[in-house]
Structure 1
């Protein structure tokens, strides 16, 4: 069986809200979080089509009084991702059991370069797709199809794990069984997968 994982909040911790509180203080944290993380334009970072400065301007337009804080938070995004201690052992166990393991993530280039240590688990996997490299984002059916085509993944013999309900539905819509990730332990996930 082929196991496909989302990355953020599944294989790595990514607590944007807590990070913002530490960097800008409680008085502006909600404003900055809503202007950035709560902004539908965040997905444009993951799509990798618009220049970073253009996306930053969209964030700033939501909270002009917080420009300095928005820019500061963005410059420090590499400090948010943290590799979960269970991730690499889980991947190794899946591979030991004979499964191929892939990643499919909405992820943007700046963060890939700013936090390479958090992505160390990718070395243990059989491949995957970062959205910014393909100019596609989940839940667009094309990104799931591309992953399957590129790696010879049979949809009938694959399972996709993501913390976003819309991305789980996206996988199911193209014929891939999917599991909504809710901080299950590796053993709980293995049980849900049926392995």
Structure 2
């Protein structure tokens, strides 16, 4: 059995639905799902470009806002509203939180590895006591590295003091799962807590 479990945050531990967020925050520009998806592509660009640099901790919010305004064609004020709305949109996923409770009670060591800008990480830590379930974690914005770069996985394993072969990693992005597997972790593409728990039980990786 694997006793060490590393969790991504967005869409794994916390809800992350950027299309829904855009429809809520910028309804004039995201009046339907298709318009919101197109706008999300211009803004996030697969978490590369400006948002990728924000995740890496190499730009601050003012520079991000200006860059997103250029990418999106919208105003800086609108992009500031979007950035300000993100932390509240990252709501805990109840099924995952309940599973974390069970895993911790069963004696598993829990860690996190998240592509998360430092300002958002600060707010999550301040707002959510259940993050105390995690023994340790790495936020990309605090180490200037981000998934799927192998370097951030190596840094996390070293910081946590665990071996790749004894560890399961959960993430909703295939590229991150592939990167983890290349380093010897058992990685699971996360869709929801029930699916992930069932997959691990079927493979005899957790009790």
**TM-score scaled by structure 1?**
0.89
Q: CA deviation at 1:189?
A: 4.6
The answer to whether the Cα contact below 8 Å between 2:53 and 2:59 also exists between their aligned partners in 1 is yes
Q: Which runs of 4+ in 1 moved over 6 A?
A: none
User: Equivalents in 2 of 1:134, 1:192: separation in Å?
Assistant: 35
CA distance in 2 between partners of 1:158 and 1:22 (Å): 38
Shift of 1:113: 3.5
Gaps of 5+ in 2: none
Q: Which residue of 2 aligns with 1:99?
A: 108
Tell me the SS of whatever aligns to 1:12: coil
User: Residues 51-75 of structure 1: CA distance to partner in whole angstroms, max 9, x if unpaired?
Assistant: 2222222211113344332222112
Matched, 1:188 2:195: no
Is the counterpart of residue 3 in structure 1 residue 5 in structure 2? yes
1:108 match: 117
Counterpart CA distance in 2 for 1:65 and 1:128 is 35
Kindly indicate whether the alpha-carbon contact (under 8 Å) linking 1:17 and 1:33 is maintained by their aligned counterparts in 2. Answer: yes
- Deviates further, 112-121 or 124-133: 112-121
- 2:161 matched to which residue of 1? 152
1:101-142 deviation line (CA, Å, top 9, x unaligned):
110000012222444466433211111111111111011111
Q: Find the aligned partners of 1:26 and 1:191 in 2 and give their Cα distance.
A: 46
RMSD: 2.1
Structure 1 gaps of 5+ residues are none
Equivalenced residue count is: 195
Structure 1 CA distance for aligned equivalents of residues 128 and 53 of structure 2: 21
What residue number does 1:176 align with? 185
Decide whether aligned partners of structure 1 residues 124 and 184 sit closer, same or farther in structure 2, where only a CA change above 3 A counts. Answer: closer
TM-score, scaled to structure 2: 0.84
